[in-house]
Structure 1
Amino acid sequence: MYRRSMWKPFAADTFTVLLSIFLVILSNSLVVPLQADEGMWLFNRPPNALLKSKYGFEATHDWLDHVQQSSIRFNNGGSGEFVSADGLVMTNHHVGTDCMQKLSSSGHDYLTTGFMAKTREDEPRCVDLELNVLMQIEDVTERVNAAVTPQMDTAAAEKARRAIINTIEKESLDKTGLRSDVVALYNGGEYDLYRYKKYTDVRLVFAPEKDIAFFGGDPDNFEYPRYDLDICFFRVYEKDQPARIKHYLKWSPEGAKDGELILVSGHPGRTERLDTVRQLGSLRDQTYPYILNVLRRREILLRTYSERSSENARRAHEDLLSIENSRKAILGMLAGLQDPSIMSKKAADEQTLRAAVMKDPKLEHAYGDAWDQVASSIRTSEEIYRDYSLLEAAQAFDSNLFEYARTLVRLADETAKPNAERLREYSEAGLESLKLELFSTAPIYDDLEMLKLADSLSLLAESLGADNELVRKVLAGCSPRKRAADLVEGCTLKDANARKQLAEAGRKGIDASKDPMIQLAKLIDPEARRLRKIRDER
């Protein structure tokens, strides 16, 4: 099971259902060593020959469908699985903390005390959690590629590709009623259409207190060995009744045996194995160091806030956990990229591939300049990376209220366009899921909002300079702390009903709104969109 990082480099995140294979070797020592076969595999591209020849195991179509439809994607980041016919879902504790924190209050802190529903009537509904079960996979590579013609420049190609993907998703949603996402595989080498059954009535069943769930040190899933009860149970409902589930995983009372084949199904993000040396160098020298500096800054901010009271610690827990998760993940990736032996091997492998391409006239004609094109794109991304991160990725506006405001502003703009022309996150097929989060009734804490927003506004001023024209407009003659207080205190978007009314009013409502957070989102949107356009098109 994986927890999605809240911090990502430039590339758009793609979630796929994957199989990993492990051969478990049990021992009498406290540390259980794992000997793993290399790689992860898609369910529609299983390593049948490897499984058959090396392990004598045949992954039949029915077996793969069973495991695939037993596996679950959490929209807040993470994986789980059905474990009963009446909709019971098992996942890691840290995957469930988002729901638990949003259900908690100063008088009912489920993270500290844990939770157990004695009856189904006692199972509280998560305020904005969506679970997805992958039902079908369709290869749409040919259709996506056909929309891009050789004479198109990169800007026209990006526009055509986005249009056909939005169209494919909408057609699929209308035809099947299933959530439909086109995912790019192999850096755009292939495209698959994933159709998900969606559950939005998700209720908490059981979670231990965080002290036992995270017992043993650093509170996350990147630390081993771990001796804790890292588990959480939910139940999905349909029409106010527990969902009837055909495919679910059954508990094994015997557990894993010595030398037994283990297959792990989940929804991780992506790897960078196909990145060029130039891309990896950019991650090593610019992207990851920048992100780490911001993460460390915010980790200190939230730790200091949390130490002031137990209530502060409860409010900041999920944000702090996400930052710790991201910091550790990126530190690990950066350590690999800073290892000369790894980069040297990557460079040698790349040189071998380039030499092979240049020896074949057809390959040279088609792909000979591919590495130079990538290098040119990376140079462009490096030039705009800081400003893109601050404005489009909104690192200068670390606030749930600002996120609501930006979504409302763009929702009005994008839904006024034909579906094929919209930004990907506002395509017709994804609007229902977007609105689930936009209209969340999760609590908003003014003091925490002010703290985070003030620090991120200070980051904006530090990065661009206090005399920068946009910085002056954003701060409106105030210090970052005063400006953050004014924005949060004057914001009406804390009320989910107010957000719904504004969304229903469309562009007319946005234009007439006096909400300071809406006005801030409108202020920075032209420059943020300009930077995004450069990134997407080049």
Structure 2
Amino acid sequence: MSLPSLRLTASLAALGAATVVLSAPATSARADEGMWTFDNFPIATVNEKYGTNIDQAWLDRVRNAAVRLQGCSASLVSGEGLILTNHHCVVGCVQDLSSAENDYVKNGWMPATREEEKKCPGQTAEILTDITDVTDRVVGAGAGLEGAAFVQARAAEIDKIQKEVCGDDQKLTCQVISLYRGGQYKLYKFRKYDDVRLVFAPEFQAAFFGGDPDNFNFPRYALDAGFLRIYEDGKPVATPNHLVWNANAPKEGDVTFVAGNPGSTSRLLTMAQLEALRDQQLPLTLIQTSELRGRLLEYSTTGEEAKRVSVDPIFGLENGFKVYYGQQGALTDPAFMATKRTAEQELRQRVAADPALAQRIGDPWAELERVAAAQRDLYLPYRQLEAAAGQRSSLYSYAKSIVRAAKERAKPVAERRAGYSDADIASLGRRLATETPISNDLEKIYLDFWLSKTREYLTVDNTDVKALLGKESPEQIAERLVDGTRLADPAFRAQALAMTPEQLAASGDPLIAFVLANDDAAQAIRTQWESAVSGPTSRAGEKIAQARFAVYGTNLYPDATFSLRLSYGQVKGWTYRGVTVTPFTEIGGLYERNTGAEPFNAAEDWMAAEGKVNKSTVYDFVSTNDIIGGNSGSPVINAKGEVIGAAFDGNIHSLGGSFGYDGELNRTVTVSTAAITEALRTVYNQPRLLRELGVRR
């Protein structure tokens, strides 16, 4: 696979707003570093360095063709709503559309006609249309407040801003995004499409040839590509603003741009925050991810259906584990940590040398050191009871959403938490109505694992653990809740969402009853977290952002926030410890690498086409573009604004990319449009797609 989608990093992302906040100084972007916003892209720098002629019109065309999916990125590549992304970004949809009789993950999804394109449950596609600065309003909302009150006031104002612009319009998404960790707040307005259909996906083995051993490595021979289409009123959406398909491979040294939605970076953490991440959060995440992966791998050996339904979850866990392992490696590298320490000291010294600035911002670094102490005590209960409660269980998520909506709806509108207006609850209802296949076996594994880890980390004698478990074991609770709940039925979910807390309690559903019984404790630890950690952290982060602007100016890129960004670079290999890696692989290398045994067994369709396929076609390539998880599926674009590939991975050196960028070693891995075209033409016989892409047969 590739870059992790956001759902694969949920265990950290749920804590990120409070624990992973930028706060150390920034140096000027080096080499091709930077995930730049479209309203602050360094046009002159790029044109001067690479001899390009990009301008605002070029940026607007790219922005209008960029698409944000659930946890991934994509691009429009035809005038009829056709979207290019990665296979690993659509494999969840492929699995949802599959059955024991028709395993499209294994065999591929290749409908002969447009009428056979099927809707992906729960998938949405969003295109950014407007960016508005709302910094003064958001910052003003928290003036004079501290702790949980500060967090809630900010959240309420953000919610108000979003509602003012998008209202109840289901075709729009409004999102206030924090940039520079409190230095700026921008309202991003998107055009949203919720009828997204699967057009094409190759076999899993073609998309993920080499499996976990090749993941985050290069050379690669993976066709990690898939196509979707956006529909509205039952018809494909007309999309004149799309990228032109270029079926030719780039050459070494060619300039490349990546437009996508990088999920989260933490490149300017204070030393106190880096140490907390290194010493507490990442080790726990690594341990839990590893153990859960082991449970799923064991389950997958119990039968063909178990293997089929566990493919995507195992895929995600393995990818996530590798990411966390790489992050931990960066944070345990003395040289890396010394660089971060020096950068922090530089900013602090610059602030101290300016009495007016020092008086204005105080000492936010000391504040964050105090927060780190509180965080150490609260992290485990907050993680296990609230942020990561239920682990990956869809059924638990449904129950939690329904219970909290009912409790908030019972309050006067003015007293509700942000995100629980009547319009928000109606939107939740639409999401709950989506029919998605659920594996009871996996649900039991997830709940059992969460409960057993909660008991292990918080101890048997913990009051909240006693309330969760009662006299039952985690295994017994998981089996009882999953077998007894009706929440797999969308019709029942709709009924439950309309109930009061009292009606929910009387509904007889065991999972809803379980969440109701334990939700007060979960929300109490959340309030403690906001008061002692996220509130003070946000305050300190805002002050450090002000210091950074004062010292370094504003011509810097902000951390990634799963908002649209553009990076620039060039097709280029790298040298490490005397070994030079060239920037391209060719299709012929797939057959040379094929052993016939998993995970190096070439897909059957590719083996059948060996005598016909052009083996000299560039398959995958690398470039110096700066990307991170969430960039999966991002279009890789040439200087003309044509799409030449879809980014799907980074090399092994990029795993520390959350905390820094090394232009000598960090590389983006891309599947080329040349390879996709050759596959559609010769391997899969897809003339209708080729015609739509403007490729001659």
TM-score by length of structure 2 reads: 0.71
SS at match of 1:38: coil
Matches within 5 A, 1:219-234: 222-234=216-228
Match of 2:10 among 7, 11, 14: 7
Q: Higher RCO, 1 or 2 (CA under 8 Å, sep at least 6)? A: 2
Superposed CA offset, 1:95-124 (max 9, x none) = 001111111111111101101111111111
Distance in 2, Cα, partners of 1:407 & 1:219? 38
* Matched letter for residue 153 of structure 2: A
Report if the CA contact (8 A) 1:454-1:480 is conserved: yes
Pairing partner for 1:311 from 280, 286, 305: 305
Which of 401, 407, 417 is residue 407 of structure 1 equivalent to? 401
Q: Tell me the SS of whatever aligns to 2:47.
A: helix
C-alpha change, 1:241 and 1:115, in structure 2 (3 Å) is same
Residues 418-452 of structure 1: CA deviation (Å, up to 9, x unaligned):
66654455456755654444223111222222222
Worse overlay, 219-228 or 493-502 = 219-228
- Residues 6 and 441 from structure 1, CA distance in 2 versus in 1: closer, same or farther, beyond 3 angstroms? farther
- Are the counterparts in 1 of residues 156 and 417 from structure 2 also a CA contact under 8 Å? no
> Is 1:330 paired with 2:359?
no
Question: Once the 2 structures are TM-superposed, how far is the Cα of residue 219 of structure 1 from its aligned partner?
Answer: 7.6
Distance 1:256 1:356 in 2: 44
1:163 corresponds to 2:156:
yes
Contact 2:212 / 2:318 at 8 angstroms: preserved in 1?
no
Q: Aligned equivalents of 2:35 and 2:371: distance in 1?
A: 28
CA drift at 1:396: 5.2
CA distance in 2, matches of 1:7, 1:442: 20
Shift, 1:61, TM fit? 2.1
Question: Following the alignment from structure 2 to structure 1, what is the Cα–Cα distance between the partners of residues 112 and 54?
Answer: 39
1:43 aligns with 2:38: yes
In structure 1, what is the equivalent of residue 381 of structure 2?
387
Tell me the distance in 2 between the aligned counterparts of 1:369 and 1:534. 23
The amino acid across from 1:90 in the alignment is L
> Paired residue for 1:121?
115
Per-residue CA deviations over 1:105-147 (Å, capped at 9, x if unaligned) read 1111110110111111111111211111111111111111122
* Superposed CA offset, 1:376-428 (max 9, x none): 22222221111111110234555221111001001112344466654455456
Change (3 A) 1:88 1:36: farther
Q: 1:517 aligns with which of 489, 511, 520?
A: 511
Look up the equivalent residue of 1:47 and give its one-letter code: P
- Aligned CA distance change for structure 1 residues 435 and 180 (closer, same or farther; 3 Å): same
Structure 2 gap segments, 5+ residues each: 20-29, 533-697
**CA deviation vs aligned residue, 1:227-251 (integer Å, no higher than 9, x gap):** 0211111111000000111211111
Q: Which moved more, 1:95-104 or 1:48-57?
A: 48-57
Q: Specify which of 37, 50, 55 is matched with residue 50 of structure 2.
A: 55
Structure 2 CA distance for partners of 1:56 and 1:416, relative to 1, 3 Å: farther
Structure 1 residues 433 and 96, CA gap change in structure 2 (3 angstroms): farther
Q: Answer whether contact 2:484 2:509 (CA < 8 A) is retained.
A: yes
Spell out, residue by residue over 1:311-341, the C-alpha distance to the aligned partner (whole angstroms, 9 max, x if none).
Answer: 1011112221221121111111111110000
Superposed displacement of residue 223, structure 1: 3.2
| Cα deviation, residue 526, structure 1 | 1.2
Residues 446-505 of structure 1 deviation map (CA, whole Å, 9 limit, x = unaligned): 222222222222112222222333323322312221121111111111111000011123
**Other structure's SS at 2:285 match:** helix
Distance 2:138 2:446 in 1: 41
C-alpha contact 1:70 1:133 (8 A) present in aligned 2: yes
Identity of aligned residues (%): 39
Classify the secondary structure of the residue corresponding to 2:10: coil
* SS of residue paired to 1:102: helix
Cα distance in 1 for residues equivalent to 2:310 and 2:226: 20
Q: Does the 8 A contact of 1:411 with 1:426 survive in 2?
A: yes
8 Å contact kept, 1:84–1:245: yes
User: Is 2:196 aligned against 1:202?
Assistant: yes
1:188 to 182, 188, 193: 182
Q: Are 1:125 and 1:202, in contact at CA under 8 Å, matched by a contact in 2?
A: yes
| SS of aligned partner of 1:352 | helix
Moved more, 457-466 or 427-436: 427-436
Measured after TM superposition, the shift of residue 344 of structure 1 is 0.7
Whether the 8 Å CA contact 2:152–2:418 is kept in 1: the answer is no
Deviation sequence 1:255-287 (CA, Å, 0-9, x none)? 313322111001111211121011011100000
Letter in 1 for 2:524: R
Alpha-carbon RMSD across the aligned residues, in angstroms, is 2.2
**After superposition, what is the alpha-carbon deviation per residue over 1:168-211, rounded to whole angstroms, capped at 9, x for unaligned?**
01101129762101111111211111111111111111101101
Paired with 1:129 and 1:426, the residues of 2 have a C-alpha distance of: 22
Residues 409 and 175 (structure 1 numbering): CA distance in 2 closer, same or farther, change over 3 Å?
closer
Structure 2: how far apart are the matches of 1:178 and 1:534?
34
Whichever residue aligns with residue 60 of structure 1, its letter is D
CA–CA separation in structure 1 for the residues paired with 2:238 and 2:486: 40
How many angstroms apart in 1 are the aligned matches of 2:188 and 2:424? 13
Comparing 52-61 with 314-323, greater Cα deviation is found at 52-61
- Whole-angstrom CA distance in 2 between matches of 1:397 and 1:52: 46
d(CA) in 2 for partners of 1:493 and 1:219?
38
Trace 1:58-457 onto structure 2 (pairs within 5 A).
58-75=53-70, 77-149=71-143, 151-174=144-167, 178-218=172-212, 222-395=216-389, 398-417=392-411, 422-426=416-420, 431=425, 434-457=428-451
CA contact (8 A) 2:230 2:237 kept: yes
Q: Taking structure 1 as the reference length, what is the TM-score of the superposition? A: 0.91
Shift of residue 353 of structure 1?
A: 1.1
Amino acid in the other structure paired with 2:46: L
Q: Deviations over 1:494-534 (max 9, x none)?
A: 11100001112344532432211111111221121122122
Aligned AA (1:39):
G
The amino acid of 1:63's aligned partner reads W
Equivalent in the alignment of 1:30: none
**SS in structure 2 at match of 1:392:** helix
